[in-house]
Amino acid sequence: MARQWIAVLAFAVVLVLTDAEDAATTPKPKKVLETVMNPAYIPAEEKHGSYWKKSAASTLKSKLKEKTNKNKARNGILFIGDGMSLATVMAARTYAGQLDRGLGEENILEFEKFPVTGLARTYCLDAQVPDSACTATSYLTGVKTKYGVIGLDGNVTRGSCHSQLHKGNWAPSIGQWAIENGLDVGLVTTTRVTHASPAGMYAHVSERNWESDVDVPAECLTLGCRDIAYQLVMDNPGRQFKVILGGGRREFLPNVTGFGNNTGKRVDGVDLTELWHVDKLQKNVSHQYVTDRLELLKVYNSDDLPEYLLGLFNTDHMAYHLKAEDEPTLEEMVEVAIKMLSRNPKGYFLFVEGGRIDHAHHDSLAYLALDETVEYAKAVRKARSLTDESETLIVVSSDHAHTMTVAGYPSRGNDILGVVDTTNGGDGRPYTTISYANGKAASIDTDGLRVDVTKEKGFTERSLDYAYPSLVPLDSETHGGEDVAVFALGPWQHLFTASYDQSVVPHLMAYAMCLTDDQHQNCHQPERLTEAASSAVSVYPYQLLLAQAVISIISCLL
């Protein structure tokens, strides 16, 4: 019996000594700022100051080699990551790096490699924190407007049909400016193509929710106010868009048309996809309407591309990338759009929205928000690979921020979607690195204490539908009011530095693309020849040179 007690006592002494040793090497912090980090590893080369000096020297050398590009931007592509705050960019960058088995923090998303960055202020005329309607009007028409309003200036009242009908209030988009200058135009989005952001390209509506006629009050319909879907198909500039890809079939179809368990919403009995077809027949132009990924890829691989392409891949918004079936990725849609639009020798303007970043944030679904951001970055990478930065201006930005934060002093390499590894909260419970200031998921449990996420199955199993804790309970997480980043690459990229109102963005792009009366010295560069035109040059070189000489002489005489 005595021997057993001696053994127990010896074991206890070992435990005490072990705890004492651990305490000596990793002291428990008395204050948050005394937190001791515990990274899985630190790359050996990064421990030496010479590494960082060489890195800085390399960056400086690269910056010094940059030359001011004042070419005419023959093409312009505007990417909007809906709800892509700077916190989202940081978290998505880390998430992508950890997917590739890296620490994460050192990873760089494609658009972060762009040489020029600025900051845009996002407020609406009447709102400190904006919505996607007033911001779309801002970055697409160059006019700030009121919350919930699209394509109209500040003289309107939200939901007022009279102010919508007054054309003096209309704010035309850069898409319309491009068409008026002979360029081709397209839009690509993962949301409904009638949603607030893409609607800024073509619609003039005093209520962003008027996506289908069933959403418009009867008295407004009587006065002649048209819904957003109708404006896209039947009015300029929407009907002139060469490429329209996204979701939202239900907004275009009558409520008697069935697609599985879904039906159209329209109560006017009109099938707008059929009217789109009729319009193109009347113009005697080739066109195609597709509804799934396979059909889109068939178009892409065709030797004879249609002049116009409409793709509606979901009755509602397109599915999240991690949940999608039979739907093209944003990257694939961008590739098709660029191939379609590149045929115009005068150039093109393309609007691309990664719209479901925003939707995931509204539901506090951080996992999905970060993945959608990574998919968005892939689309930017594809666009960059398919274009020439000497003649194509690519601008990447966001419409507004969200309330998601990345905080808590976790160690480097800690799971960005996990709990902080260095300490618990003051209540002794763990907490996540990512959290929301407000939203659907309560942070207080039924026992009155803060939720312990490590005991929630959705969190521990990394469910796509796990909602991260929110401080203020709301039916939907809100937008954030901080500035958003603007990344630029291509002709006149240097214009996008500094801090400015979001409404400046399309004016800067238009200047680079020579779409306005204020033109720079290179606006009259000769148009690039298409493949067909290049063939003609090789067959008839002397005739072409003679014709050019005659045109030059006549121009001088005039």
Q: Is 353 annotated in some ligand binding site?
A: yes
What tokens were used for 396?
């990447």
Q: Is 162 annotated in some ligand binding site?
A: no
Inter-residue contact 112 to 93 (CB < 8 Å): yes
The DSSP bridge partners found for residue 117 are 487
CA 5 to chain CA centroid, nearest Å: 68
Closest CA to 76 of 523, 400, 514: 514
3-state SS string for 424-437 = CCCCCCCCECEEEE
Q: Is 479 annotated in some ligand binding site?
A: yes
Greatest distance between any 2 Cα atoms in the chain? 119
To the nearest 10 degrees (0 to 180), the angle between helices 541-557 and 531-539 is 100
Residue type, position 83, single letter: G
Closest CA to 189 of 356, 52, 23, 48: 356
Residue type, position 266, single letter: R
Instruction: Print burial letters for 337-373: b (CB count within 10 Å at least 16), e (below 16).
Output: bbebbbebbebbbbbbbbbbbbbbbbbbbbbbbbbbb
Distance CA 498, CA 517 (A): 24
3 state DSSP class of 189: strand
How many residues are given for the chain? Answer: 558
Instruction: Print burial letters for 436-471: b (CB count within 10 Å at least 16), e (below 16).
Output: beebbbebeeeeeebbbbeebeebeeeeeebbbbbe
Distance CA 121, CA 127 (A): 12
Task: Point out the residues that are catalytic.
Answer: 132
Distance CA 437, CA 375 (A): 25
Q: Is 361 annotated in some ligand binding site?
A: no
Inter-residue contact 228 to 210 (CB < 8 Å): yes
Inter-residue contact 153 to 143 (CB < 8 Å): yes
Q: Is 82 annotated in some ligand binding site?
A: yes
Distance CA 439, CA 409 (A): 23
Listed in sequence order, the residues at least 6 apart from 121 whose beta carbon sits closer than 8 Å to its beta carbon are 483, 499, 500, 501, 502
- Residue 471 phi/psi, 5° resolution? -70, -55
Q: Is 494 annotated in some ligand binding site?
A: no
* Sign of CA pseudo-dihedral 98, 100, 104, 109: negative
Parallel, antiparallel, or unpaired: how do β-strands 434-439 and 470-473 relate?
parallel
Q: Is 402 annotated in some ligand binding site?
A: no
Closest CA to 252 of 275, 229, 225: 229
Q: Cα separations (Å) of 316 from 23, 190, 247, 259?
A: 56, 10, 6, 11
Q: Can you say which residues are annotated as belonging to the binding site for Zn(2+)? A: 82, 353, 358, 362, 399-400, 479
Q: Can you say which residues are annotated as belonging to the binding site? A: 82, 195, 197, 353, 358, 362, 399-400, 479
Q: Can you say which residues are annotated as belonging to the binding site for Mg(2+)? A: 82, 195, 197
